[in-house]
Each structure stands twice: as structure tokens, then as C-alpha cells.
């Protein structure tokens, strides 16, 4: 089976560099599935899970936006943050989710709803991948 080298990098440094048979993720234009030999592509990514498939197994990463660059033999994901399930603190993610939900429900003028909504999306994504 052919593979792609997948490299995930954040401002804090590399998170992953391994070979996989398929990469699935959410771009701003919709779901993308990348196989070896894919045409070159650059796409902005949303807050979502990246699914990496090989040997009938699947690894997942929680990414916080960024960009994906695709070449026929390599996928590079430049993300603001990326976490493996083992690195996700579930309790902290639950707290962040509750905090964001409280902010969104409070009808106060000083609440930045867009920021609270993004915080909620990040927390839900981390919980989804972490579990």
C-alpha cells in the first residue's frame, strides 16, 4: 500500500511526522480526503479532528485551524495548535467548554461572542478527539 508522509507543525514545534495511507480533515470548503498521488493543493483548515489512516487503524489529532499543503507524496499541516488524544487534558477541556457556554448564555454587552464561540468549538473538538 502506498503512503504519504504527514507532517504536523505548530508554532511550538513539530507534533507528528509519520507515514499514513490516507488523511481526512475539514477545510473551510468542506471535508477533504487525501490519498497518495493527490494533486498539489493548499487549503485553510477549520477547528476539527484530522483523521490519519493506516493498517486498518486510525490516529486522530485535534487541530485548531491552520493550513494544509498537499503534494503527491507529502501532506504538511501548519496549525495554530495540534494535540494527540494522549496530550488532551479532558478535565481542562470540560472546564473550557463550560466557561465558553456560560459566556455565550450571558447576555452581557462586554462578552466577545465570537471569541467565546471559537473557545467552545476548540473545547468540543478536544473532547471529541480526547475521548
Nearest one of 91, 76, 88, 98 to 125, comparing CA atoms: 88
Domain at 4-83, CATH homologous superfamily: F0F1 ATP synthase delta/epsilon subunit, N-terminal (2.60.15.10)
Query: Which residue spans of the chain are classified as CATH 2.60.15.10?
Result: 4-83
State residue 67's pLDDT score: 97
pTM here is 0.87
Query: Which residue spans of the chain are classified as CATH 1.20.5.440?
Result: 88-130
Give pLDDT < 70 ranges for the chain. 111
State residue 41's pLDDT score: 96
State residue 104's pLDDT score: 87
- CATH architecture designation of domain 88-130: Up-down Bundle (1.20)
State residue 45's pLDDT score: 97
State residue 112's pLDDT score: 82
State residue 113's pLDDT score: 84
Residues 6+ apart with CB under 8 A from 98: none
Amino acid at each position: 500500500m502506498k503512503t504519504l508522509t504527514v507532517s504536523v507543525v505548530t508554532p511550538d514545534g513539530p507534533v507528528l511526522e509519520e507515514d499514513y495511507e490516507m488523511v481526512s480533515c475539514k477545510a473551510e470548503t468542506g471535508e477533504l480526503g487525501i490519498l497518495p498521488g493527490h494533486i498539489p493543493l493548499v487549503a485553510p483548515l477549520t477547528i476539527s479532528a484530522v483523521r490519519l489512516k493506516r493498517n486498518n487503524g486510525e490516529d486522530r489529532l485535534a487541530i485548531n485551524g491552520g493550513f494544509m499543503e498537499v503534494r503527491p507524496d507529502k501532506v504538511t499541516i501548519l496549525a495554530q495548535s495540534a494535540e494527540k488524544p494522549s496530550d488532551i487534558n479532558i478535565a481542562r477541556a470540560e472546564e473550557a467548554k463550560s466557561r465558553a457556554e456560560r459566556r455565550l448564555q450571558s447576555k452581557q454587552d462586554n462578552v466577545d461572542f465570537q471569541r467565546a464561540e471559537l473557545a467552545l468549538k476548540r473545547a468540543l473538538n478536544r473532547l471529541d478527539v480526547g475521548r
